[in-house]
């Protein structure tokens, strides 16, 4: 089965079987479409493998996609692969146990140097 066809069926299943918002479903569909484009239009579900998923995520990072978006895409792909496996459309789940270290979503605040802190806390003269 081609990825586009499986994606349509998965989105239908998400719409009826899961209590997800329409925005989440639309985002997941777009995430799977992005993978399909990465693998090549007309690719079958058998083309989805672990190296391909990792290459896709790295490509998303290189394109400057935010950490939050990369995590959502990874979540969408894990769910899609789990669904493909449950339907017998693929033999093994390539995303099973796949851990994606996408980095921090936000930077930590900078530490105030002690001299600046003293200046702020001491009464002005």
Q: pLDDT tens digits, residue range 61-118?
A: 899 988 888 888 998 999 999 999 999 999 999 988 776 655 555 566 778 788 887 8
* Domains observed in the chain: 3-103 (1.10.150.130)
- The whole-number average pLDDT for the span 13-29 is 90
pLDDT tops 80 at residue 17 = yes
Give burial (CB, 10 Å; 0-12/13-18/19+) of 9.
middle
pLDDT tops 90 at residue 6 = yes
- Higher-confidence residue of 26 and 109: namely 26
CA distance 25 to 40: 22
Q: In the numeric block, which tokens belong to residue 89?
A: 């459309």
Look up the pTM and report it: 0.76
CA distance 115 to 120: 9
Q: In the numeric block, which tokens belong to residue 100?
A: 């994606």
């Amino acid at each position: 089965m081609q990825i586009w066809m499986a994606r349509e069926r998965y989105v239908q299943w998400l719409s009826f079987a899961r209590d997800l918002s329409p925005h989440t479903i639309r985002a997941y569909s777009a995430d799977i479409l992005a993978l399909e484009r990465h693998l090549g239009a007309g690719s079958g579900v058998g083309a989805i493998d672990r190296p391909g998923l990792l290459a896709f995520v790295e490509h998303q990072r290189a394109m400057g996609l935010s950490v939050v978006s990369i995590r959502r895409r990874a979540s969408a792909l894990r769910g899609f692969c789990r669904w493909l496996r449950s339907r017998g459309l693929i033999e093994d789940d390539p995303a099973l146990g796949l851990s994606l270290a996408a980095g921090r979503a936000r930077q930590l605040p900078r530490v105030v140097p002690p001299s600046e802190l003293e200046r702020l806390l001491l009464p002005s003269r």
